[in-house]
Amino acid sequence: MFEDFFTYSQQNHDFMKLLLQGIETEDSVQSAILKTRQKLEEAFQNNIQRATDLGILPKNDPSVQSAMLVSLVEGILERWLFSPGLKHSVLQKKSAKELAQEVVKFEFFGLFGI
């Protein structure tokens, strides 16, 4: 899913810029962006809750965890797509597949990587 998402984002660079950075003067666009983010967060929350119910993840607050995941994905996308001049950035060297693998690994194992 993440690989498809990152590939889509890369192929639809202008749309993702609009989605992530918005148009501050256009309320209808800002509203649509917020709704999209909310739907993404709800999808993560449902997945986390399901994994918790199945005993795959420990019991935590899925609403907090999903908010953190959305922020992680948005931040990574912005850096990957719109910050090619970042000094020493390895993100631009990653393919959509490689980036997806890194995000999923971090999602499940965090900084410890265990």
The per-residue pLDDT for range 29-40, each reduced to its tens digit, is 788 888 988 998
What sign does the dihedral 51-53-57-60 (CA atoms) show?
Answer: positive
Answer whether 30's CB lies under 8 Å from 24's CB: yes
pTM for this model (two decimals): 0.74
Task: Return the pLDDT at 46.
Answer: 93
Average of per-residue pLDDT across 1-17? 88
Q: Indicate the pLDDT class of residue 16, thresholds 50, 70 and 90.
A: confident
72/53 Cα distance (integer angstroms):
24
Res 12 pLDDT > 90: yes
